[in-house]
Amino acid sequence: MANQSRRDFLKTSALLGAGITGLTSKPVKAAPKNILDENRMGVLVDTTVCIGCRKCEWACKTAHNLPTQPLESYDDRSVFINMRRPDDKSLTVVNEYPAQESNSFPVNVKVQCMHCDKPACVSACIVGAFSKEENGSVIWDGDKCIGCRYCMVACPFQVPAFEFEKALQPEIRKCDFCFERTKIGKLPACVEICPMEVLTYGRREDLVELAHHKISLYPEKYYNHVFGEYEVGGTSWLYLASRDFSELQFPKLGNSPAPGVSEAIQHGIFAYFIPPIALYALLGGVMWLNKNRKSGEEEQL
């Protein structure tokens, strides 16, 4: 409701501004260059077949030249005791949620950047260091970043991590959808290594279809929801699960794009630069009038 009235307000003020200056045609394109490609890729994560082998964690670290223990050590299942989050040293982690009934299995969930279609980090970044690429990946440009960490404040999935211990050139680290690998036709490292085919790499549109097809084939196996289809305006990574996603610690998010109303407010305040200029003119007028009034009074004295 508050949203609606604000939109109306913005509309009215935009119309007013347009009326004043006669700038009715020629809309200013304020949106970023990141136009969604209809062939953008994605990954469908079927958590019902994941066995929690964590080979994807190892593959990810190896592909990104991060220090890692040997692959055998990843068999250790004691790490599942605590919930873990991706950080600057591991861009993806697998968590385990215990079985609810004796006849069911525990659920393993791989976590990484969701590669939103309308990413909050891209909208928020002060220098535009983040970009949504044609192939669906959201990547970070280390040459631009100033380390303000506003992307971390903005991300609804709490994904970007920062190298807090570094005094010089700290980086923002997050899954880059193996941008360097997919560029040369390779699969993302985690998709390639997964022995259970939990991860399906493909066009996002096809994956959404596949996910719904799977649900309709095995309605008793899947919870009837594809996480990421509509959440925060859609994400490139999509999830299927046997349970309600809130039980698996997925954040409860609406379907409006992640940047929310912040861009609308921002562009409302700066519509064609009319409001600031109008305010300047108004204040100038007031100042001039008051000055004249004062000097008029003084002359009369």
Partner 1 sequence: MSENMKPVPLPRKYFTPTVIILCLIALVGIIFISARLLFGIGAVTNLSNQYPWGIWIGIDVAAGVALAAGGFTTAALGHIMHKEEYHLITRPALLTATLGYTFVASSVALDLGRYYYIWHPLIMWNGNSVLFEVGMCVMIYLMVLYIEFLPIITERFIGRVNLPGFLGKFNNQIDKLLRVLDKGLNKTMFVFIIAGVVLSCLHQSSLGTLMVIAGQKMHPLWQTPILPLLFLLSAVSVGFPMVIFESVITSKSFGLKPETNILSGLGRMVAPLLFIYLSFKIGDMVIRKTFVYLTEFNTASVMFVIEIVLGIVLPLRLFMSPSIRRSPLGLSIAAFLVIFGVFLNRMNNFIVAYTPPYQFTSYFPSIGEISVTAGFIALEVLLFRAFVMIFPIVSIPQPGTSKTKFSVRGV
With CB under 8 A as the contact rule, which of the stretches 19-27, 97-105, 175-183, 255-263 interacts with partner 1? 255-263
Half-sphere exposure of 25 (CA within 13 A, CB side): 0
Q: How far, CA to CA in Å, does 239 sit from each of 49, 54, 111, 114, 132?
A: 12, 17, 10, 10, 20
Asked if residue 30 binds partner 1 (CB under 8 A), the reply is yes
> Which residue in the set 12, 21, 69, 266 belongs to the binding site for partner 1 (CB under 8 A)?
266
Q: Are 116 and 159 in contact (CB under 8 A)?
A: no
With CB under 8 A as the contact rule, which of the stretches 19-27, 41-49, 203-211, 287-295 interacts with partner 1? 287-295
Length of the chain as a residue count: 301
Distance in Å, CB of 114 to partner 1, minimum: 13
Asked if residue 210 binds partner 1 (CB under 8 A), the reply is no
> Which residue in the set 165, 184, 217, 220 belongs to the binding site for partner 1 (CB under 8 A)?
165
Pick the closer one to partner 1 by CB: 31 or 99.
31
Instruction: Tell me the Ramachandran region of residue 133: left when phi exceeds 0, alpha when psi lies from -120 to 50, beta otherwise.
Output: beta
d(CA 58, CA 237): 19
d(CA 257, CA 211): 22
Asked if residue 124 binds partner 1 (CB under 8 A), the reply is yes
For the four alpha carbons of 60, 62, 67 and 71, in that order, the dihedral sign comes to positive
With CB under 8 A as the contact rule, which of the stretches 36-44, 55-63, 73-81, 272-280 interacts with partner 1? 272-280
**Taking the CB of residue 16, how many other CB atoms lie within 10 A of it?**
13
Pick the closer one to partner 1 by CB: 136 or 160.
160
Burial 274-298 (b: 16+ CB within 10 A, else e): bbeeeeeeeeeeeeeeeeeeeeeee
Structure tokens at 230: 């509509």
d(CA 36, CA 127): 20
In single-letter form, the type of residue at position 31 comes to A
Bridge partners (DSSP) of residue 111 are 93
> Which residue in the set 15, 20, 66, 287 belongs to the binding site for partner 1 (CB under 8 A)?
287
The DSSP H or E segment spanning 96 is strand 93-97
Asked if residue 79 binds partner 1 (CB under 8 A), the reply is no
Asked if residue 83 binds partner 1 (CB under 8 A), the reply is yes
Distance in Å, CB of 134 to partner 1, minimum: 19
Distance in Å, CB of 254 to partner 1, minimum: 8
In the three-class reduction of DSSP (H, G, I as helix; E, B as strand; rest coil), residue 138 is classed as strand
Asked if residue 20 binds partner 1 (CB under 8 A), the reply is no
Asked if residue 163 binds partner 1 (CB under 8 A), the reply is yes
Among 230, 222, 270, smallest CA distance to 17 is for 270
Asked if residue 279 binds partner 1 (CB under 8 A), the reply is yes
Pick the closer one to partner 1 by CB: 219 or 251.
251
With CB under 8 A as the contact rule, which of the stretches 29-37, 60-68, 178-186, 204-212 interacts with partner 1? 29-37
Distance in Å, CB of 208 to partner 1, minimum: 24
Distance in Å, CB of 53 to partner 1, minimum: 23
Binding site for partner 1 (CB under 8 A): 1-3, 6, 30-32, 83, 85, 87-88, 120, 122-129, 144-150, 152-154, 156-158, 160-170, 249, 251-253, 258-263, 265-266, 269-270, 276, 279-280, 283-284, 286-287, 290-291, 293-294
